[in-house]
Amino acid sequence: VEETLVLVKPDGVARSLTGEILRRIEAKGYSLVDIRLVQPERDLLAAHYAEHEGKPFYEPLVEFMMSGPVVAIRVAGDRVIEGFRSLAGTTDPTSAAPGTIRGDLGRDWGLPVQQNLVHGSDSPESAQRELSLWFA
Ligand code: GTP
Ligand code: MG
């Protein structure tokens, strides 16, 4: 079965939304395979976000992701990569659809990076790469 990497980002952990996010993943019918609380270092985030290096939001993104603990979750299920991205909603929480994690629980805080609560791998290749980084 397919697997994806979900991260509850530092804003989600700080706002005590980890349980709510896990609840939505489980309610959808996906399985939690592994979970850990991580204080990520720059090297891990540089590898994780390599595709965004050089973009204006890259440095604020890495700083934000180092600002507190992150919950990393290995999630399994048929078409879970697409399915979790659908649960998460679009990147910008202000315009993400109600019913999604970002749309229901997120908002803009006037900061240089979008604090949008969760990450989900965007392809099978990304999922394998990211799972091997966070669950080495
Ligand atoms: P992830 O699941 O976290 O990867 O989100 P995504 O796939 O919806 O977004 P993407 O991979 O394009 O960008 C990674 C993260 O960078 C986003 O989740 C945001 O936190 C941040 N980000 C992306 N695009 C922008 C942008 O245009 N402006 C700002 N300020 N932040 C951005
Ligand atoms: Mg992405």
For 87-112, the pLDDT digits (tens) are: 999 999 999 999 999 999 999 999 98
Q: Kindly report the pTM of this predicted structure.
A: 0.95
Nearest CA owner, ligand 1 atom 12: 91
**Parallel, antiparallel or unpaired: strands 31-38 and 70-76:** antiparallel
Nearest CA owner, ligand 1 atom 10: 91
Q: How far is the CA of 46 from the centre of ligand 2 (A)?
A: 13
- Residues 31 and 24: their CA atoms lie apart, in Å, by 11
Q: Are 20 and 102 contacting, i.e. CB atoms less than 8 angstroms apart?
A: no
**Is 119 a residue of the active site?**
yes
pLDDT at position 102 is 98
Cα dihedral across residues 66, 71, 74, 79: positive or negative: negative
Q: For ligand 1, which residues put their CB under 6 angstroms from it?
A: 57, 61, 91, 112-114, 116, 119-120, 122
